[in-house]
A = this chain, B = another copy of it.
Protein backbone atom coordinates (compact mmCIF):
# COMPACT_ATOMS: atom_id res chain seq x y z
CA UNK A 1 0.00 0.00 0.00
CA UNK A 2 1.30 3.45 -0.93
CA UNK A 3 0.01 6.42 1.06
CA UNK A 4 0.61 9.83 -0.51
CA UNK A 5 0.58 12.62 2.07
CA UNK A 6 -0.73 16.09 1.25
CA UNK A 7 1.81 18.80 0.46
CA UNK A 8 0.60 20.48 3.65
CA UNK A 9 0.90 17.38 5.86
CA UNK A 10 2.63 17.99 9.20
CA UNK A 11 5.21 15.80 10.90
CA UNK A 12 2.55 14.77 13.41
CA UNK A 13 0.22 13.68 10.67
CA UNK A 14 2.94 11.66 8.98
CA UNK A 15 3.88 10.02 12.27
CA UNK A 16 0.24 9.20 12.97
CA UNK A 17 0.00 7.34 9.66
CA UNK A 18 3.23 5.47 10.33
CA UNK A 19 2.01 4.44 13.76
CA UNK A 20 -1.27 3.10 12.44
CA UNK A 21 0.48 0.99 9.82
CA UNK A 22 2.91 -0.39 12.38
CA UNK A 23 0.03 -1.11 14.77
CA UNK A 24 -1.60 -3.19 12.03
CA UNK A 25 1.53 -5.31 11.84
CA UNK A 26 3.16 -3.99 8.67
CA UNK A 27 6.54 -2.41 8.10
CA UNK A 28 6.77 1.16 6.87
CA UNK A 29 8.97 2.93 4.45
CA UNK A 30 9.05 6.73 4.09
CA UNK A 31 10.19 8.66 1.05
CA UNK A 32 10.29 12.46 1.29
CA UNK A 33 10.24 14.13 -2.12
CA UNK A 34 10.28 17.83 -2.90
CA UNK A 35 6.54 17.92 -3.38
CA UNK A 36 5.13 15.10 -1.30
CA UNK A 37 6.00 12.62 1.41
CA UNK A 38 5.14 9.09 0.39
CA UNK A 39 4.63 6.24 2.83
CA UNK A 40 4.92 2.62 1.81
CA UNK A 41 3.26 -0.07 3.91
CA UNK A 42 5.12 -3.31 3.44
CA UNK A 43 3.44 -6.62 4.22
CA UNK A 44 -0.05 -8.06 3.97
CA UNK A 45 -2.34 -5.29 2.70
CA UNK A 46 -5.39 -7.16 3.96
CA UNK A 47 -4.30 -6.26 7.50
CA UNK A 48 -4.84 -2.62 6.56
CA UNK A 49 -8.32 -3.34 5.18
CA UNK A 50 -10.16 -2.15 8.23
CA UNK A 51 -8.21 1.09 8.67
CA UNK A 52 -9.80 4.07 6.94
CA UNK A 53 -6.47 5.52 5.82
CA UNK A 54 -8.17 8.07 3.61
CA UNK A 55 -9.91 9.49 6.67
CA UNK A 56 -6.68 10.25 8.45
CA UNK A 57 -5.46 13.83 8.68
CA UNK A 58 -2.87 14.78 6.08
CA UNK A 59 -3.52 11.86 3.74
CA UNK A 60 -4.05 12.81 0.08
CA UNK A 61 -4.52 9.41 -1.51
CA UNK A 62 -4.15 5.72 -0.82
CA UNK A 63 -3.02 3.39 -3.59
CA UNK A 64 -3.20 -0.39 -3.14
CA UNK A 65 -0.36 -2.32 -4.76
CA UNK A 66 -1.56 -5.88 -4.50
CA UNK A 67 -4.62 -7.43 -6.07
CA UNK A 68 -7.60 -7.71 -3.70
CA UNK A 69 -8.45 -11.25 -4.87
CA UNK A 70 -6.28 -14.21 -4.01
CA UNK A 71 -8.03 -17.58 -4.48
CA UNK A 72 -9.35 -16.84 -7.94
CA UNK A 73 -6.15 -15.12 -9.13
CA UNK A 74 -3.33 -16.44 -11.26
CA UNK A 75 -0.73 -15.47 -8.69
CA UNK A 76 -1.92 -18.27 -6.47
CA UNK A 77 -2.62 -20.85 -9.19
CA UNK A 78 -1.25 -20.42 -12.68
CA UNK A 79 -2.86 -23.43 -14.36
CA UNK A 80 -6.27 -23.19 -16.01
CA UNK A 81 -9.08 -24.58 -13.90
CA UNK A 82 -11.27 -27.13 -15.64
CA UNK A 83 -14.69 -27.63 -14.14
CA UNK A 84 -16.73 -30.79 -14.42
CA UNK A 85 -20.44 -30.05 -14.73
CA UNK A 86 -22.43 -33.27 -14.85
CA UNK A 87 -19.68 -34.86 -16.88
CA UNK A 88 -19.03 -31.97 -19.26
CA UNK A 89 -15.62 -30.35 -18.90
CA UNK A 90 -15.61 -26.55 -19.00
CA UNK A 91 -12.34 -24.66 -19.45
CA UNK A 92 -10.45 -27.21 -21.50
CA UNK A 93 -10.01 -27.79 -25.17
CA UNK A 94 -13.69 -27.98 -25.99
CA UNK A 95 -15.79 -24.88 -26.45
CA UNK A 96 -18.93 -25.76 -24.50
CA UNK A 97 -22.24 -24.48 -25.81
CA UNK A 98 -25.06 -24.12 -23.29
CA UNK A 99 -28.40 -23.49 -24.95
CA UNK A 100 -32.11 -23.43 -24.33
CA UNK A 101 -34.99 -21.08 -23.66
CA UNK A 102 -34.86 -18.04 -21.38
CA UNK A 103 -37.66 -19.44 -19.19
CA UNK A 104 -38.92 -22.96 -18.71
CA UNK A 105 -42.49 -22.47 -19.98
CA UNK A 106 -43.95 -25.96 -19.88
CA UNK A 107 -42.89 -29.58 -19.71
CA UNK A 108 -43.41 -30.09 -23.42
CA UNK A 109 -41.55 -27.01 -24.53
CA UNK A 110 -38.45 -27.65 -22.44
CA UNK A 111 -38.31 -31.26 -23.57
CA UNK A 112 -38.60 -30.16 -27.19
CA UNK A 113 -35.90 -27.52 -26.63
CA UNK A 114 -33.61 -30.07 -25.03
CA UNK A 115 -33.93 -32.44 -27.97
CA UNK A 116 -33.37 -29.61 -30.45
CA UNK A 117 -30.28 -28.08 -28.93
CA UNK A 118 -28.80 -31.48 -28.15
CA UNK A 119 -29.14 -32.54 -31.76
CA UNK A 120 -27.41 -29.37 -32.91
CA UNK A 121 -24.37 -29.77 -30.69
CA UNK A 122 -25.18 -28.06 -27.39
CA UNK A 123 -23.65 -29.82 -24.42
CA UNK A 124 -25.65 -28.22 -21.60
CA UNK A 125 -29.32 -27.20 -21.37
CA UNK A 126 -30.23 -23.79 -20.01
CA UNK A 127 -33.66 -22.72 -18.74
CA UNK A 128 -34.89 -20.32 -16.06
CA UNK A 129 -37.29 -21.50 -13.35
CA UNK A 130 -36.91 -18.47 -11.06
CA UNK A 131 -36.92 -15.33 -13.20
CA UNK A 132 -35.65 -11.90 -12.20
CA UNK A 133 -37.99 -9.46 -13.94
CA UNK A 134 -37.91 -5.69 -13.72
CA UNK A 135 -41.69 -5.55 -13.48
CA UNK A 136 -43.70 -7.27 -10.73
CA UNK A 137 -46.41 -7.75 -13.33
CA UNK A 138 -44.26 -9.92 -15.66
CA UNK A 139 -44.06 -13.72 -15.71
CA UNK A 140 -41.91 -14.78 -12.74
CA UNK A 141 -41.12 -18.35 -13.71
CA UNK A 142 -42.54 -21.79 -12.90
CA UNK A 143 -40.35 -22.25 -9.81
CA UNK A 144 -39.69 -25.77 -8.56
CA UNK A 145 -42.05 -27.21 -11.16
CA UNK A 146 -39.74 -25.77 -13.81
CA UNK A 147 -36.73 -27.38 -12.17
CA UNK A 148 -38.42 -30.74 -12.29
CA UNK A 149 -39.02 -30.40 -16.03
CA UNK A 150 -35.35 -29.52 -16.47
CA UNK A 151 -34.33 -32.67 -14.63
CA UNK A 152 -36.67 -34.68 -16.83
CA UNK A 153 -35.10 -33.14 -19.92
CA UNK A 154 -31.68 -34.10 -18.63
CA UNK A 155 -32.81 -37.65 -18.08
CA UNK A 156 -34.10 -37.90 -21.61
CA UNK A 157 -31.24 -36.18 -23.46
CA UNK A 158 -28.29 -36.66 -21.14
CA UNK A 159 -27.58 -32.94 -21.15
CA UNK A 160 -26.55 -31.48 -17.78
CA UNK A 161 -28.73 -28.49 -16.88
CA UNK A 162 -28.13 -24.95 -15.65
CA UNK A 163 -30.70 -22.70 -13.95
CA UNK A 164 -30.67 -19.47 -11.96
CA UNK A 165 -30.68 -19.00 -8.19
CA UNK A 166 -32.20 -15.78 -6.80
CA UNK A 167 -32.85 -16.54 -3.14
CA UNK A 168 -30.67 -18.38 -0.58
CA UNK A 169 -33.76 -20.30 0.53
CA UNK A 170 -33.93 -22.01 -2.89
CA UNK A 171 -30.35 -23.28 -2.90
CA UNK A 172 -31.07 -26.77 -1.64
CA UNK A 173 -33.89 -27.46 -4.03
CA UNK A 174 -31.83 -26.11 -6.90
CA UNK A 175 -28.95 -28.39 -5.99
CA UNK A 176 -31.34 -31.31 -6.10
CA UNK A 177 -32.26 -30.72 -9.74
CA UNK A 178 -29.51 -28.85 -11.57
CA UNK A 179 -25.86 -29.34 -12.49
CA UNK A 180 -24.78 -25.70 -12.59
CA UNK A 181 -26.16 -22.87 -10.50
CA UNK A 182 -26.40 -19.61 -12.38
CA UNK A 183 -26.05 -16.29 -10.55
CA UNK A 184 -27.55 -13.50 -12.62
CA UNK A 185 -26.03 -10.10 -13.32
CA UNK A 186 -28.32 -8.34 -10.83
CA UNK A 187 -27.17 -10.65 -8.04
CA UNK A 188 -23.43 -10.42 -8.70
CA UNK A 189 -23.09 -8.34 -5.54
CA UNK A 190 -25.80 -10.09 -3.53
CA UNK A 191 -23.16 -11.00 -1.00
CA UNK A 192 -25.35 -13.18 1.19
CA UNK A 193 -26.27 -15.30 -1.80
CA UNK A 194 -22.60 -15.61 -2.77
CA UNK A 195 -21.64 -16.71 0.72
CA UNK A 196 -24.37 -19.31 0.72
CA UNK A 197 -22.92 -20.87 -2.43
CA UNK A 198 -19.78 -21.65 -0.49
CA UNK A 199 -21.49 -24.46 1.37
CA UNK A 200 -22.45 -26.55 -1.66
CA UNK A 201 -20.43 -28.71 -4.02
CA UNK A 202 -21.97 -27.56 -7.30
CA UNK A 203 -20.41 -25.51 -10.10
CA UNK A 204 -21.54 -21.89 -10.14
CA UNK A 205 -21.79 -19.74 -13.26
CA UNK A 206 -21.34 -16.16 -12.08
CA UNK A 207 -22.50 -13.41 -14.43
CA UNK A 208 -20.85 -10.03 -14.48
CA UNK A 209 -23.07 -7.27 -13.16
CA UNK A 210 -24.62 -4.67 -15.44
CA UNK A 211 -22.07 -2.03 -14.62
CA UNK A 212 -19.49 -4.09 -12.78
CA UNK A 213 -15.80 -3.93 -13.47
CA UNK A 214 -13.70 -7.02 -14.03
CA UNK A 215 -12.13 -6.50 -10.62
CA UNK A 216 -15.57 -6.49 -8.99
CA UNK A 217 -16.53 -9.67 -10.84
CA UNK A 218 -13.40 -11.36 -9.53
CA UNK A 219 -14.10 -10.09 -6.01
CA UNK A 220 -17.55 -11.68 -6.17
CA UNK A 221 -15.96 -14.92 -7.34
CA UNK A 222 -13.58 -14.57 -4.40
CA UNK A 223 -16.61 -14.44 -2.07
CA UNK A 224 -17.75 -17.84 -3.30
CA UNK A 225 -14.25 -19.31 -3.16
CA UNK A 226 -13.47 -17.88 0.26
CA UNK A 227 -16.63 -19.51 1.57
CA UNK A 228 -15.57 -22.92 0.33
CA UNK A 229 -16.65 -23.50 -3.27
CA UNK A 230 -13.97 -23.20 -5.94
CA UNK A 231 -16.02 -24.47 -8.90
CA UNK A 232 -16.66 -21.11 -10.46
CA UNK A 233 -17.32 -20.29 -14.10
CA UNK A 234 -17.16 -16.59 -15.02
CA UNK A 235 -19.65 -15.19 -17.53
CA UNK A 236 -19.53 -11.94 -19.51
CA UNK A 237 -23.04 -11.02 -20.68
CA UNK A 238 -22.71 -7.41 -21.77
CA UNK A 239 -22.43 -4.31 -19.68
CA UNK A 240 -24.56 -1.20 -19.61
CA UNK A 241 -23.25 1.62 -21.80
CA UNK A 242 -24.87 4.59 -23.55
CA UNK A 243 -25.46 2.45 -26.63
CA UNK A 244 -29.10 1.54 -27.17
CA UNK A 245 -28.88 -0.24 -30.53
CA UNK A 246 -27.96 -3.35 -28.57
CA UNK A 247 -29.46 -4.38 -25.22
CA UNK A 248 -26.03 -4.20 -23.57
CA UNK A 249 -22.48 -3.85 -24.84
CA UNK A 250 -20.58 -7.12 -25.01
CA UNK A 251 -17.09 -6.62 -23.58
CA UNK A 252 -15.11 -9.26 -25.43
CA UNK A 253 -11.78 -7.85 -24.31
CA UNK A 254 -12.82 -9.05 -20.85
CA UNK A 255 -11.94 -12.56 -22.00
CA UNK A 256 -8.17 -12.08 -22.40
CA UNK A 257 -8.14 -9.84 -19.31
CA UNK A 258 -9.90 -12.48 -17.20
CA UNK A 259 -7.64 -15.18 -18.62
CA UNK A 260 -4.60 -13.11 -17.59
CA UNK A 261 -5.91 -12.37 -14.11
CA UNK A 262 -7.67 -15.59 -13.18
CA UNK A 263 -7.44 -19.32 -13.73
CA UNK A 264 -11.21 -19.75 -13.99
CA UNK A 265 -13.08 -20.58 -17.22
CA UNK A 266 -14.86 -17.75 -19.06
CA UNK A 267 -18.17 -18.10 -20.86
CA UNK A 268 -19.90 -15.56 -23.12
CA UNK A 269 -23.65 -14.94 -23.16
CA UNK A 270 -24.20 -13.31 -26.57
CA UNK A 271 -27.99 -13.32 -26.29
CA UNK A 272 -28.35 -10.95 -23.34
CA UNK A 273 -25.43 -8.92 -24.59
CA UNK A 274 -26.93 -7.92 -27.93
CA UNK A 275 -30.64 -8.45 -27.31
CA UNK A 276 -31.57 -9.19 -30.92
CA UNK A 277 -31.22 -12.61 -32.53
CA UNK A 278 -29.85 -11.03 -35.72
CA UNK A 279 -26.63 -10.06 -33.96
CA UNK A 280 -26.14 -13.27 -31.93
CA UNK A 281 -24.33 -15.06 -34.76
CA UNK A 282 -21.58 -12.51 -35.47
CA UNK A 283 -20.76 -11.94 -31.81
CA UNK A 284 -20.74 -15.69 -31.11
CA UNK A 285 -18.10 -16.07 -33.83
CA UNK A 286 -16.13 -13.25 -32.20
CA UNK A 287 -16.47 -14.86 -28.75
CA UNK A 288 -14.90 -18.07 -30.04
CA UNK A 289 -12.14 -16.14 -31.81
CA UNK A 290 -11.27 -14.10 -28.73
CA UNK A 291 -10.78 -17.31 -26.74
CA UNK A 292 -13.94 -17.92 -24.70
CA UNK A 293 -14.40 -21.35 -23.14
CA UNK A 294 -18.06 -21.53 -24.04
CA UNK A 295 -21.30 -19.83 -24.99
CA UNK A 296 -24.67 -19.47 -23.27
CA UNK A 297 -27.26 -18.98 -26.01
CA UNK A 298 -31.01 -18.53 -25.88
CA UNK A 299 -32.83 -20.82 -28.29
CA UNK A 300 -36.63 -21.06 -28.47
CA UNK A 301 -38.79 -23.17 -30.78
CA UNK A 302 -41.21 -20.26 -31.25
CA UNK A 303 -39.67 -16.92 -30.24
CA UNK A 304 -42.78 -14.97 -31.26
CA UNK A 305 -44.60 -16.65 -28.42
CA UNK A 306 -41.82 -16.86 -25.87
CA UNK A 307 -42.74 -15.82 -22.32
CA UNK A 308 -39.54 -13.76 -22.06
CA UNK A 309 -36.63 -12.58 -24.21
CA UNK A 310 -38.21 -13.66 -27.48
CA UNK A 311 -36.43 -10.96 -29.46
CA UNK A 312 -33.02 -12.36 -28.66
CA UNK A 313 -33.80 -16.07 -29.02
CA UNK A 314 -32.62 -18.06 -32.02
CA UNK A 315 -34.92 -20.54 -33.70
CA UNK A 316 -33.59 -24.11 -33.59
CA UNK A 317 -32.68 -24.07 -37.29
CA UNK A 318 -30.67 -20.88 -36.98
CA UNK A 319 -28.96 -22.26 -33.87
CA UNK A 320 -27.96 -25.42 -35.74
CA UNK A 321 -26.43 -23.37 -38.59
CA UNK A 322 -24.62 -21.14 -36.13
CA UNK A 323 -22.91 -24.12 -34.49
CA UNK A 324 -21.71 -25.24 -37.91
CA UNK A 325 -20.39 -21.73 -38.57
CA UNK A 326 -18.52 -21.73 -35.26
CA UNK A 327 -16.72 -25.06 -35.62
CA UNK A 328 -14.07 -23.92 -38.15
CA UNK A 329 -13.27 -20.84 -36.04
CA UNK A 330 -12.79 -23.04 -32.97
CA UNK A 331 -10.58 -25.25 -35.13
CA UNK A 332 -8.35 -22.28 -36.01
CA UNK A 333 -7.71 -21.91 -32.26
CA UNK A 334 -7.07 -25.64 -31.91
CA UNK A 335 -10.36 -26.29 -30.15
CA UNK A 336 -13.48 -28.32 -30.82
CA UNK A 337 -17.18 -27.62 -30.34
Task: Please list the residues of chain A having a beta carbon within 8 angstroms of any beta carbon in chain B.
Answer: 2, 4, 7, 20, 29, 31, 33-36, 38, 40, 42-43, 46, 49-52, 54-57, 63, 65-66, 68, 75, 130, 132-139, 166-169, 186-187, 189-192, 195, 210-216, 219, 222-223, 226-227, 239-246, 249-257, 260-261, 273-274, 276-279, 282-283, 285-291, 303-313, 328-329, 332
Which residues from B are CB-within-8-Å of A35? 65-66
Tell me, rounded to whole Å, the shortest Cβ–Cβ distance linking A273 to chain B. Answer: 7
Further 19 A-B residue pairs, CB within 8 A, beyond A33-B42, A256-B283: A52-B306, A52-B311, A133-B191, A187-B190, A210-B211, A211-B240, A215-B244, A215-B245, A239-B242, A249-B249, A252-B252, A252-B283, A253-B274, A253-B279, A260-B278, A285-B289, A286-B286, A286-B289, A329-B332
Query: Does B250 contact A239, Cβ atoms closer than 8 Å?
Result: no
Which residues on B sit within 8 Å (CB–CB) of A31? 29, 31, 40, 42
Q: Are B2 and A63 in contact (CB under 8 A)?
A: yes
CA A126 – CA B257 in complex, angstroms? Answer: 27
User: A312 contacts which chain B residues (CB < 8 A)?
Assistant: 55
- Please tell me if the beta carbons of A66 and B36 are within 8 angstroms of each other in the complex: yes
CA–CA, A167 to B196, complex, Å?
11
**Which of B63, B166, B328 sits near A191, CB closer than 8 Å?**
B166
Are the CB atoms of B283 and A257 closer together than 8 Å?
Answer: no
Q: Is the CB of A50 within 8 A of B283?
A: no
Docked CA distance A50–B103 (Å): 12
CA distance A138 to B46 in the complex (A): 8
Is B50 a contact of A139 with CB atoms below 8 Å? yes
Within 8 Å CB of A222, what residues of B? 135-136
A134-B189, A138-B49, A210-B211 known; A253+B278 contact, CB < 8 A: no
Q: Which 10 A-B pairs have the closest CB atoms?
A: A52-B310, A55-B310, A289-B289, A211-B211, A54-B311, A286-B286, A286-B290, A285-B289, A136-B226, A167-B192
A252 and B310 contact, CB distance less than 8 A:
no
Contact present for A251 and B243 (CB under 8 Å) = yes
Query: In the assembled complex, which residues on chain B have CB atoms less than 8 Å from the CB atom of A43?
Result: 33-34
One of B42, B210, B239, B255 near A282 (C-beta < 8 A): B255
Residue of B nearest to A225 (CB): B136
A283, B253: Cβ atoms under 8 Å? yes
Which chain B residues border A210 with CB–CB below 8 Å? Answer: 211
Q: Is B310's CB under 8 angstroms from A137's CB? A: no
